[in-house]
Chains A and B, each alone.
Chain A
Amino acid sequence: MLVLSRKKDESIMIGDQIEIKILAVEGEQIKLGIVAPKTVKVHRSEVFEAIQAQNREALSASSSFLEQLKKK
């Protein structure tokens, strides 16, 4: 992993088009500004992790309600 130190109002470039700027540092929280082309999706990584977990949960679920549907 590349590690860079940045101060408030400094930024980094990823490739030619993606800029990540430190907008504010407030205690444990850091506010980032992200400038990227529309085609680049930006998500909090927790969102991805939550979806992965939900997909796995959906797979492991029981079929009992399907059986209920069939009985009707």
Chain B
Amino acid sequence: MKITTKFLGEVEIVEKDILTFEQGLLGLESHKRFVLLPISEEHPLALLQSVEQVEIGFVVAYPFSFKKDYSFDLSEEDLEQLQIENEEDVITYAIVTMKETLQDSTINLLAPLVINMDEKCGKQIVLQDNKSYPLRYPMQSLEGSVK
């Protein structure tokens, strides 16, 4: 099937690539079906695009490229909801708030997106208050691989 995306024009997707966010994202609970599309090969960025509504598209970043020691534990509840059995099935992304330049843009490390690629389901989880993982973490730390 073809969908229109926010930043990448029309893209052909297959039904089995659709990820279900049963609870939606915080503040946007009605959007539950997304696809993850690569943005460029050079950057650890992707587009999390709603398959139903073109405006609902988030640029997401691979958080470990920006903060190497980023880590958190998943609760029993999250493991169960996301039907996680193997750690290798899980991929984590952080939502990017884009500004005019990459240097001014931030990623949300406080509420990462945890996706079980095997079961095709995901959830935005909220980490316990932690100063090292802020809501707006500067992206500039990627400098090395961007330039």
> What residues of chain A have their CB less than 8 Å away from a CB belonging to chain B?
38-39, 41, 43-44, 47-48, 50-59, 61-66, 68-70, 72
Contacts and interface: CB of A to CB of B under 8 A. Distances in A.
Contacts of A64: 98, 100
B101 interface: yes
Given A47-B126, A61-B99, A66 B7 contact: yes
Contacts of B101: 65, 68
Contacts of B15: none
A69 B39 contact: yes
Nearest to A70: B40
24 contacts: A38-B76, A39-B77, A44-B129, A47-B110, A51-B27, A51-B124, A51-B126, A54-B97, A55-B28, A58-B59, A58-B96, A59-B55, A59-B57, A61-B59, A61-B99, A63-B7, A64-B98, A64-B100, A65-B98, A65-B105, A66-B7, A66-B59, A66-B98, A68-B102
Interface in B21-72: 25-28, 39-40, 42-43, 45, 55-59
B95 interface: yes
Contacts of A54: 95, 97, 108, 111, 135-136
B74 to A, nearest CB: 11
A23 B132 CA distance: 28
Contacts of A41: 75, 77, 126
A60 to B, nearest CB: 9
Given A39-B77, A66-B39, A69-B40, A53 B27 contact: yes
A51 B110 contact: yes
Interface-central residue, A38, A44, A58, A64, by most chain B CB under 10 Å? A58
Nearest to B101: A65
A27 B130 CA distance: 27
A48 B26 contact: yes
Contacts of A63: 6-7, 98
B110 to A, nearest CB: 7
